[in-house]
């Protein structure tokens, strides 16, 4: 079960302004990436459910984080259904991220007291997600929907908390675009973890890049 309270996770998402999204079959690589994230100052991390051993790897990653990285919120992404959500919550997930809107996943998260961040692309999906218990929604794919959409929907929904995922780059220009449009936070995957950087085991680069992006957030708020 989750080891951090829901409000701690939601505050960490907003304070850091970003959520790293990462998957790797090698537990040691995943540990090093989470360590780099933590050392940069972030306190949230999403491991994505994209491999055959994702549950086993995530379970061990959570055990490591809980023991060695105080206050690190470990979430799981790419969850489509309620049974899978149950599995990962039992494995220690502090929050659940989904690429789609499935209220049955939301019901599992609400019952467990963990944040649920569902993927949305329309006003109707945003409304239904909030009705089903989502306090933060994920605008995905961001590069398709665009920052103009985000700016527009915040008109009728000024209290809306949106995490933008897809197309966000670790640059001042990209952060200026999305936070200028009203993003609560942004999610980044491959743009934050280039294959060549991982191949070189250059985890210092990852730590530096995350710290730089957190600096952009502070500048823009």
φ, ψ of residue 161 to 5 degrees: the values are -110, 110
Q: What is the pLDDT of residues 161-216, one digit of tens each?
A: 999 999 899 999 999 999 999 999 999 999 999 999 999 999 999 999 999 999 99
The string of pLDDT tens digits covering residues 57-75 is 999 999 999 999 999 999 9
* 22 domain-assigned: yes
Q: Tell me the two tokens of residue 142.
A: 């961001």
Q: How confident is the model at residue 103 (pLDDT cuts 50, 70, 90)?
A: very high
What is the pLDDT at residue 27? 97
Task: Write out the H or E segment, with its range, that includes residue 62.
Answer: helix 54-68
21 lies in some domain: yes
Residue 30 tokens, joined: 């995943």
Give the predicted TM-score (pTM) of the model: 0.96
Cα separation, 161 vs 180, whole angstroms: 14
Q: Is the pLDDT of residue 90 over 80?
A: yes
Q: Tally the domains of the chain.
A: 1
What's the pLDDT at 59?
98
The pLDDT of residue 1 is above 80: no
CA distance 137 to 146: 15
Closest among 98, 42, 97, 34 to 66, alpha carbons compared: 34
Q: Pairing relation of β-strands 73-77 and 44-48?
A: parallel
183 within 8 A of 150, measured Cβ to Cβ = yes
Q: Is residue 133 part of a domain?
A: yes
1 falls within a domain:
no
- pLDDT score of 39: 98
Domain extent, residue 37, equals 6-220
Write the CATH number for 24.
3.20.20.70
Residue 56 lies in a domain: yes
What pLDDT is recorded for position 94? Answer: 98
Residue 163 domain-assigned?
A: yes
Average pLDDT across the chain, whole number? 96
pLDDT of amino acid 161: 97
Q: What are 134-175's pLDDT values in tens digits? A: 999 999 999 999 999 999 999 899 999 999 999 899 999 999
What pLDDT shows up at residue 3? 84
């Amino acid at each position: 079960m989750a080891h951090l309270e829901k409000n701690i996770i939601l505050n960490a998402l907003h304070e850091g302004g970003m959520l790293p999204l990462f998957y790797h079959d090698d537990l040691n690589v995943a540990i090093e990436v989470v360590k780099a994230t933590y050392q940069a100052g972030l306190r949230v991390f999403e491991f994505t459910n994209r491999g055959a051993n994702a549950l086993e790897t995530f379970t061990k990653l959570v055990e490591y984080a809980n023991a060695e990285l105080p206050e690190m919120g470990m979430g799981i992404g790419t969850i489509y259904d309620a049974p899978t959500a149950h599995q990962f919550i039992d494995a220690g997930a502090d929050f659940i991220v989904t690429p789609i809107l499935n209220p049955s996943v939301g019901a599992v998260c609400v019952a467990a007291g963990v944040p649920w961040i569902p993927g949305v692309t329309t006003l109707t999906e945003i409304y239904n997600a909030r009705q089903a218990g989502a306090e933060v929604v994920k605008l995905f794919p961001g590069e398709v929907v665009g920052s103009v959409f985000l700016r527009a929907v915040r008109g009728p929904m000024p209290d809306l908390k949106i995490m933008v995922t897809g197309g966000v780059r670790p640059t001042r220009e990209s952060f200026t675009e999305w936070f200028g449009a009203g993003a609560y936070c942004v999610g980044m995957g491959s743009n934050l973890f280039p294959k060549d950087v991982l191949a070189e085991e250059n985890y210092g680069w990852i730590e530096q890049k995350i710290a730089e992006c957190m600096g952009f957030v502070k500048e823009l708020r």
